[in-house]
Structure 1
Amino acid sequence: MTIKVAFLGLGSMGAPMAARLLAAGHPLTVWNRTAAKAEPLAARGAAVAATPADAVRGADAVITMLADPAAVTAVARSAGPQLRPGAHWIEMSTIGPDAVRDLAGLLPEGVTLVDAPVTGSVDKATAGELGILAGGPADGVAELLGHLGTVTRCGPLGSAAALKLVLNAALIGGVAVAAEALALADTLGVPAATAENALLGSALGGAAQRAFARDSSFHASLAAKDIALATATAPLPVLAAVLGHLRAHPDLASQDLARTADRIRADR
C-alpha cells in the first residue's frame, strides 16, 4: 500500500532518507528551507512545496528531519493546521523528549505522533540500513519506516528521543575522550599509529573509530546541540566539559565531529 508522505528537512540525512521512500513508490512531497536541496528529488519525481503547510496538505504521513527543537516547533506551527485527522507525524530529528512532548501539544486532535530518531550516518541512510528508535504508537507507520532501516520499539512517546540523547551523549563524549587519550599519547611519545591501533582494539574502540572517521557527516554544531540538550536535563560534568570543547571551535561547526577530535588532540 502506498502512503502519501510529506518529508520536511533535506539535510545530509534527510535527503537520502526521502530518496528511499520515493524509490519505494510512495508519493512524496518535500520541503526544505534551502529550496535548491530539493532539486535532485524533484528530478526523480518528488513534488516540491514552497512551505511546510503546503507540503503536509493531504499527507498520510509527515516526517521531520530537522536541525533542532526550534526548527521542529516552527515547522509544526506552520504545518499543523493543515493536517487531516488520521495522519501520522513521525519526528526523526534529535530533539530530546521534552521537545517531543511539546510537539504533541502543537498537533491537531486525531493526528498520531511517533518519535523515531535514527542511528547511523549518511551511508546507512542511503542504503536503508539506519537504526530507527520508535516511541509511541508506531504500528501504523512501521512498514513505512522499514524502508529506512530496522525499527526498534522503545516504549511510550518520548522514550525513543530520550534513548537517542543517551546514545549520542555516549558517542560524542567517547570521541572527546579518545581525542584526549591520543593527545596524552603524543605528549608521552607513544607513536601515533601504535596509540591509534591500541585504542581501536580497546574498550573505547567504537568511539576511537568514530574519532578517526573521514567519511561521515555529523556536524560539530549538531553534536554541540545534542550535548546541550543532555546537560540541560541532568548534572553531567564530563559532558559539560565536552560541550566546552565543541563550542571552543566555532570554525569547525559545519565540519564532521572527527575534525573537532583532531583539534582537541592538536591543542594539547
Structure 2
Amino acid sequence: MQKIAPKQIAFLGLGHMGAPMARQLLAAGHPLTVWNRTPAKAEPLVAAGARQAAGPAEAVRGADVVLTMLAGPEALSAVADQVIPELGPGTYWIEMSTVGPDAVKALGDRLPQGVTLVDAPVMGSTDKAAAGQLGILAGGDADAVEGLLSALGTVTRTGPPGSGAALKLVVNTAVMGGVALVAEAMALADALGVDEATAKAALTKSPLGGAVSRAFATDVHFDVALGVKDVALATEVTRLPAMEAVLAHLKAHPDIAHEDIAALTARIRANR
C-alpha cells in the first residue's frame, strides 16, 4: 500500500505522553491540530505551531489522520462519540492509548466504511516520547502510516487489528509486576539488614535489572492510576493471582494515584 503524506493530523490527548509525542510530529514538519480536555495543556504546542481545536469534533474535521492518546477505554469511547460523525472515507485513526484489545475492537466496529483503524500503543515513558524513541506496537493495516509513526520511534508490526493493544497490555502488566517484585525484594533486604546500595547493585545484575531501573526511576512519569487501569484490564482477561495482589495493593493506596509507579517501591518497603 502506498504511504500517505498527511495534509492534516488531529492529535487528541495531551497528557504526560501525548504532549511530547505531538511535539515530535510538529518537529518533523507535520501539520497538526490538537485538542485536550484541559485546554491549557495545548498552549505550548500552539506556540510551537499547532492549531488548537475547541473540541474533538472540530479537531478531526478535515483531517486525514487522527491520533488518540487518551487515559483509558472510557475516555476513548467518549471521544469517539464526538469524532466518528466527522470522519470521511480515506481517514486513518491511529489509536495509541493503552485500552486493551476489546476497546480497539469496539472502536473498529463503530467506524464508518472507508475509515482505517490502526492500534499502535507505545512502549517507553516520557523521556522516550520527548526523544522520539518510543517503541510502537502497530496492529492492523499500518503500511500507509508507518512513515508517520516512525517520527515517534521504532515501529514493530504485531499482526491483525487489536494485536498491538494486546501486546501492550502484556508489556505493561509485566512492568507493573516487575516494579512490585523489586519493591518486595528490597523490603526483604531491609528486613534482613542488607545494605540498600548492595542489594540494588545485586538486583541490577540479576534478570530483574530492567525492573530495578524502573522501580527507582526519577526522571520519567507514568501515573499509578494508569497502572491500576492496565492491571485491571489484564486481570479481566484471565486469572493472574500475583497481579491481582498488586492491583489490590495499588487500590488500597489512592494517595499515590498521580505519582509515578516508582512510588510503589517506597510504599511497599515501608510495609504500609
Which interval holds the TM-score relative to the shorter structure?
over 0.9
Task: Name which of 249, 255, 261 aligns with 1:257.
Answer: 261
1-structure distance, mates of 2:245, 2:7:
45
Q: The residue matched to 1:257 in structure 2 has which SS? A: coil
Alignment of 1:78-157 (within 5 A): 78-157=82-161
- Maintained 8 Å contact 1:249/1:260: no
Gaps in structure 1 of 5+ consecutive residues: none
Q: The residue matched to 1:232 in structure 2 has which SS? A: helix
Q: CA deviation at 1:201?
A: 0.7
Alignment of 1:122-201 (within 5 A): 122-201=126-205
2-structure distance, mates of 1:224, 1:24:
33
Q: The residue matched to 1:90 in structure 2 has which SS? A: strand
Name the % identity: 65
Q: CA deviation at 1:123?
A: 1.1
Q: CA deviation at 1:227?
A: 0.2
1-structure distance, mates of 2:7, 2:265:
42
2-structure distance, mates of 1:154, 1:42:
34
Deviation above 3 Å: which 4+ runs of structure 1? none
Task: Name which of 205, 211, 214 aligns with 2:209.
Answer: 205
- Maintained 8 Å contact 1:179/1:211: yes
- Maintained 8 Å contact 2:6/2:64: no
2-structure distance, mates of 1:212, 1:20:
27
The residue type equivalent to 2:225 in the other structure is: S
Residue matched to 1:65:
69
Instruction: State the TM-score, normalizing by the size of structure 1.
Output: 0.98
2-structure distance, mates of 1:223, 1:85:
35
- Maintained 8 Å contact 1:77/1:106: no
The residue type equivalent to 1:263 in the other structure is: R
1-structure distance, mates of 2:127, 2:220:
8
2-structure distance, mates of 1:25, 1:190:
52
- Maintained 8 Å contact 2:122/2:134: yes
Q: CA deviation at 1:3?
A: 3.4
1-structure distance, mates of 2:32, 2:110:
23
The residue type equivalent to 1:103 in the other structure is: L
Q: CA deviation at 1:2?
A: 4.4
Residue 243 (structure 2) pairs with residue 239 (structure 1):
yes
Deviations 1:4-27 (A, max 9, x none): 100000001000100111111111
- Maintained 8 Å contact 2:13/2:36: yes
Residue matched to 2:271:
267
2-structure distance, mates of 1:144, 1:203:
35
1-structure distance, mates of 2:6, 2:213:
39
Q: How many pairs are equivalent?
A: 268
1-structure distance, mates of 2:194, 2:49:
55
